[in-house]
Amino acid sequence: MKKEKNGILDTIASILVVFVVFALIWYIISEYINAIKNPQTRTATLIATTITIILMALVYNNPEFIKSLIKE
């Protein structure tokens, strides 16, 4: 059997995936901005963001760090 691609459906699927990703990013950013604007959640949001950035930097720069955490 010969494999055939349906170009129109692939294009529509790609457009939908891009749209969903952009919508998700937009939602996350808008919720983050709302959390920063709210004085009751500002401190916790900034602390969580800082911890997340530090952990992401550790994971990116030192994959052995994660392996050592998992093994222990």
Domain ranges of the chain: 1-37, 39-72
Residues 19 and 16: their CA atoms lie apart, in Å, by 5
Phi, psi of 47 (to 5 degrees): -65, -45
Q: What local confidence, expressed as pLDDT, does residue 17 receive?
A: 93
pLDDT digits (tens, 9 = 90+) for 21-30: 999 999 999 9
CB-CB contact of 46 with 59 (8 Å): no
pLDDT tens, N- to C-terminus, the chain (72 residues)? 455 667 788 888 889 999 999 999 999 999 999 988 988 988 999 999 999 999 888 888 887 877 787 776
Q: What local confidence, expressed as pLDDT, does residue 4 receive?
A: 60
Q: What local confidence, expressed as pLDDT, does residue 50 receive?
A: 93
Q: What local confidence, expressed as pLDDT, does residue 1 receive?
A: 46
